[in-house]
Every structure is written in C-alpha cells, then in structure tokens.
Amino acid sequence: MEVGTRHKHTTAGARGTAPRFVAAVAALLAVVALRWPDALRAPFVNDDYLFLDRTRGASPFSLWGFDGLAFHWWRPWSRETHYWAVQALAGANPAVFHAVNAALWLAVVALFWAFTRRVAGGRAAAWATAACASLAAWSLPLLWVAGVQDLWMLAWSLAALLAWSADRRALALAGYAMALLSKETAALLPAVLVAYDLLLARRSWREVAARVAPFAAVALVWAGLHPRLGGQLWHPVVLERVDDPTRLSPPLALARGLLVALNLDRVPAPMPDWSAIVFPALALAGALVVLAGALRPDGEDAAPHARGAVLRFSLAWAAVGVAPLLLPGLGFHAYYASFAALGVLLALSHWAGTNAAVTAVTLALLAVLGVARDRTPSLDWGDAMYQRRAAVWNAAMRDDLLKKLPRPGAHARVFFVRVPDRIGLVQGDAPALRVWYGDSTLRGGFYSTYRPRAAGEPAGQDYFFRHDSLGGWVRVRAGDENLAEELAFNPRWEIDHRTLAAAFVNAGDYASAAMEHAKIAMVLEGSSDAAFDAAASYAAAGDTARALQWAREAARRPDARPEVVRAAREAGLLPR
C-alpha cells in the first residue's frame, strides 16, 4: 500500500512538473518576443563583419591560433569557432546567428535558475530567475550578434559554478577553461568558487586551496598564451591605446555596475515619454510573473543554506563581478556587469522571493525600469537604442548599396564619406563588403584610407560613395563622366568632387586629383582659382604640358588677380 501511494505521488508530481516547465519556457519566449521583437531582423553590425570575414573558409585548426586576431583578444571559442560553425551551417544569415544567441540566453537563464535553486531554494530561485530575465543589460547580446562572446562566457561560468556546487570538480574545471576561451572577464571565476567553499560548503582554507589549485594552473597557462598578457613575451603585439569616452571613476563604475541588476545603472528617460511604455511594461511584467509562478514550488521550501551565508556569498559574487570594471582604460557598458548582476539578484532573492505579493510588485517594477531603459536614447553601443539605431542604418545602407552597385567586380575597392556616426558600418578595410557581396577580393574604407594601388596589386575598379541622409548612397565618379548628367542628378557635385580631389591629394595621387580639379574648372568656367587648382595638381603629377595649359587658362579668366596675370605674362604664358 505504501509503495503504491509513493508511486501515485511520484506520478502526480511528474504530471505537475510538465505544465510548469512548458509555462516557464513559454514565459521566457514571451520575454524575448516582447523585449526584442526585432532581434531576428537585425543585420550584422561592426565587429560581426570582422569575425565573419576571418572565419569564412578558415581551417578549424587556424581558429585557435593567434594570427589575425581582432584587437588582439584571444577568444577562440566564442568568436572564431562560433562564427565559423554557424556560418558553415547557415551561411552569413544574421537571423540564424540571432536565434543562436537567443538559445544561449535561455541556457544562461536556466543555469542561473538551477544554481540559485541549489543554494537558496525554489522560491528564491523563481524570483531571481524572473528578475534575471528582466535585465536591460541583455539587450546587447540579443540585438548584436557579437554579444555572443558574453553569453558563452556566462554560460560556461554558470555551468562551472553549478558543477562546483555538486562537487564535480573536473566538469567545473572544463567549464572554467571554456569560459576563459570565451572572454577574459571569466578569469576571476575561481574567486567565486573559493567564496562558495568558504561561505556555503564551510571548508577550511587549506582544503579550499587544494581544490582551487588546478584552476590557478589553468589560469596561468591561459595568461601565458594570451596575446595581451604573457603572450607579449614570445609574440609581441602593438596594442593601440583607445580612450573610451564611457570610462568612469572607480566609485561610480562600481555603483553603476551593481545597479545594473535593478536596471538603474542610468536614469531611464524613455522616448517619447513614460506613457509610451505602459502597455509594453505591463505585458513584460505579466510574462515575468508567469515565469516566477511556473518556477515557484508548492508547499514547503526549505533553503539548503542559511540566509546569512547565502547573502555573504552573493555579495562576494557581486564584488568579483564588478572588479573588471576597475581595469585601466576600460569603459562602462551595462552588459559588462551582467555577471555581477546575477550575484546581486541572488542576494535579493530571499527577501523578494518568499512572498508572492512582493515577488509580483518587484518584478513589475523591474519590468517598467527595463523597458524604460531599453527606450532611453543613448550613444553607448552597449545600450538597446544605440544597437537599434545602428541596425536600421546598416540595413538601409546595405540594401541601397547592393541596389546601386550590384556587381562591383573582382578586386574592386569601395570608399565612403559622410557615413553617419556610431553605426559600426565601416572599419578596417571594410569587411562588410566581402560579407555583403560574398567576394573575398573586395576592399574599401573611408576616403581617408584611400591609397593608389601598389605595383603588382591586382587591377580592379575603384568606387566612391557619399552618403546622403535623404537619398542614400550617391556615387561620386572619379575621372571621365557625363558632366551634364551628373550635374543634373547631384546638386552637391562640386563639393563632392572637391572632397574627392582632397582625398587624392592626401594619398599622393596627384594625377587623379588633377582630373577632378580639371572637371571642376570646366564646370566653373569663370573661376580662375579652379583653373589654378588644376594647374597645381598637374604640376605635382609631373604633367608640365597640362599644368601650363591650365595656368594659362587661369590667367585668362576674368576674375584672375592682377598680380597673377602679370606673373603669367612674365612667364610667357600670355602675350605682353
């Protein structure tokens, strides 16, 4: 009779678990759909093109090397291997990459729930998990594919922490190694493991030191290989100094890092006003409350550890998480503090998760602040509004360029000017071109990067485009062109060609500059200055005959200054 009763309870428990699981998954998917409905439509931006370009056609072995690393960060798992694998399976399809990011985010939330339930109990874990899903800091990895580096780092770190709490040290060590190969901020994870052993497992310092020693060994090997750390000793690299405008003073960085957990690292000021977020915030709050309810256990929920011990461990976790924000030269972006935010939420979970009413109210507040934070204008590339603005611009400019330049040809170069600021379109030699056109021979950049083709360099067409906020890309044709047609089409023709001529002069390509100045002089028939510019450019290019021709033309024009005319006559360019 007792066995049958136990079987009956077990079956009922299993039947009760399945609907809760479905409800929890549905609630998490609703959070994604409500917060980031545009994620799957977002194009690649900025660093994505670097990683796609480097990994396309690369051998698996080369992905783990040190050559050609973007910014000298060695993240072979989360960058090179990730982009290589997804690109090999689905091509350069941003929707697939975003879907993978969303799946990894779900894994991060699930791992956080599993660990929190193990140390703080089911009710605390239910609130902490729902609060975790509310973080505005997730906007970057869900709107920008390159944010996958942080998702992998968090997933491996939480997996290591979960394995450590189950005394599966080998698995924890493997997770730590993979976290290090995903992002450098994982280096401090052993400090959280030490805090767990001392504060929750109640182990002695000697025992803890022995248990964590393999992690220290892995960290030393990793640091010795990393190009920005010990790798400098055997493979020196030139590290560019970049002053991040988001750099904060240490106290402010720490304070804002901890406030990321409450979506208050910046004062929210949603566009156009607070009334616009009422319905989105209510919908999100509902999804979060459903998530917490689905995860909240029925009946008694004895916490595995004392509240005080969990609180001390949580604060240690948060302190370790914000420590990287103090590194010299590092700016502040909310997602940098994602790991610290998880520690803060764990610390608050016992207070906010034990009472259903408190759970609902606090999650609603977090939902309001999260939606408001997402819709607050920002020039910080770690924020949702920045990423959404960049996505809109990138998609529009990509489509417009493909329409206006459908087939650039092999070895073509495309140079741009007046590109909107802070959209992450053009960097380096414009790898975006190679991704968009699927042609590894294409190169490009801003006008300022133009240089004449070197001897032996493959021949190809050079294209020049100026961006217009209303008309999109405007092609500026170097050399021969139909002047009447171009003048009718482009009211900025003169300015565009003066800008292009200046780019040629800066690059030492005086022959090309001379052709542009000659065209301008032909259009501005009454301008002696325009003719003199042509003469000077031809002289610099070594074409004496054309230089004299345009100097004579400049002296003949009615607006030529008397001293110029006199000098031309003395030089024999004009009759005396």
Nearest to 430 by CA among 440, 391, 75, 140: 440
pLDDT, residue 560, reads: 84
Residue linked to tokens 């670097």: 50
- Per-residue pLDDT, averaged over 357-377, amounts to 96
The most confident of 1-5, 17-21, 76-80, 484-488, by mean pLDDT: 76-80
- Per-residue pLDDT, averaged over 253-262, amounts to 96
pLDDT, residue 298, reads: 83
Q: Pull the structure tokens for residue 445.
A: 């950049």
Nearest to 501 by CA among 561, 454, 459, 450: 450
- Per-residue pLDDT, averaged over 535-548, amounts to 91
Residues 283, 150: Cα–Cα separation, whole Å:
27
What is the 3-state composition of the chain as percent helix, strand, coil, each rounded to the nearest 5?
A: 65, 5, 30
Q: What is the DSSP string of 197-245?
A: IIIIS---HHHHHHHHHHHHHHHHHHHHH-TTTTHHHHS--PPPP---T
- Residue 415 pairs in a beta bridge with 445, 464
Stretch (H or E) spanning 413: strand 413-417
pLDDT, residue 241, reads: 66
- Domains in the chain, start-ordered, CATH in brackets? 2-384 (no CATH), 420-570 (1.25.40.10)
- Is the sign of the CA dihedral 67, 73, 74, 75 positive or negative? negative
- How would you class 340 by CB atoms within 10 Å of its CB: exposed for 0-12, middle for 13-18, buried for 19 or more? buried
Tens digits of per-residue pLDDT, 269-298?
A: 999 999 999 999 999 999 999 999 999 998
Residue linked to tokens 């969303």: 102
Q: Which residue has the higher pLDDT, 379 or 142?
A: 142
- Per-residue pLDDT, averaged over 58-67, amounts to 90
Banded pLDDT at 304 (limits 50, 70, 90): confident
Residues 465, 200: Cα–Cα separation, whole Å:
62
Q: Is the pLDDT of residue 532 over 80?
A: yes
Banded pLDDT at 16 (limits 50, 70, 90): low
Residues 81, 83: Cα–Cα separation, whole Å:
6
Q: Which long-range contacts (CB under 8 A, 24 or more apart) does 400-403 make?
A: 400/472, 400/473, 401/436, 401/465, 401/473, 402/436, 402/437
pLDDT, residue 332, reads: 93
What phi, psi does 465 have (nearest 5°)?
Answer: -130, 135
Tens digits of per-residue pLDDT, 175-196?
A: 999 999 999 999 999 999 999 9
Residues 192, 319: Cα–Cα separation, whole Å:
9
Residues 268, 404: Cα–Cα separation, whole Å:
40
- Per-residue pLDDT, averaged over 252-261, amounts to 95
Residues 45, 141: Cα–Cα separation, whole Å:
12
Instruction: State the pTM of this model.
Output: 0.91
Mean pLDDT of the chain: 92
Q: Is the pLDDT of residue 330 over 90?
A: no
- Residue 445 pairs in a beta bridge with 415
- Per-residue pLDDT, averaged over 395-400, amounts to 95
Tens digits of per-residue pLDDT, 440-497?
A: 999 999 999 999 999 999 999 999 999 998 899 999 999 999 999 999 999 999 999 9
pLDDT, residue 576, reads: 59
pLDDT, residue 329, reads: 79
Banded pLDDT at 63 (limits 50, 70, 90): very high
Nearest to 136 by CA among 443, 369, 404, 420: 369
Alpha helices in 307-355 (DSSP H): 307-322, 338-353
Alpha helices in 375-430 (DSSP H): 384-404
Nearest to 557 by CA among 525, 534, 533: 525
Banded pLDDT at 501 (limits 50, 70, 90): very high
- Per-residue pLDDT, averaged over 302-326, amounts to 93
pLDDT, residue 12, reads: 42
pLDDT, residue 8, reads: 43
pLDDT, residue 242, reads: 63
Q: What is the DSSP string of 156-194?
A: HHHHHHHHHHTT-HHHHHHHHHHHHTT-GGGGGHHHHHH
- Per-residue pLDDT, averaged over 196-211, amounts to 96
Residue linked to tokens 């400049």: 554
Residues 514, 517: Cα–Cα separation, whole Å:
5
Q: Is the pLDDT of residue 238 over 80?
A: no
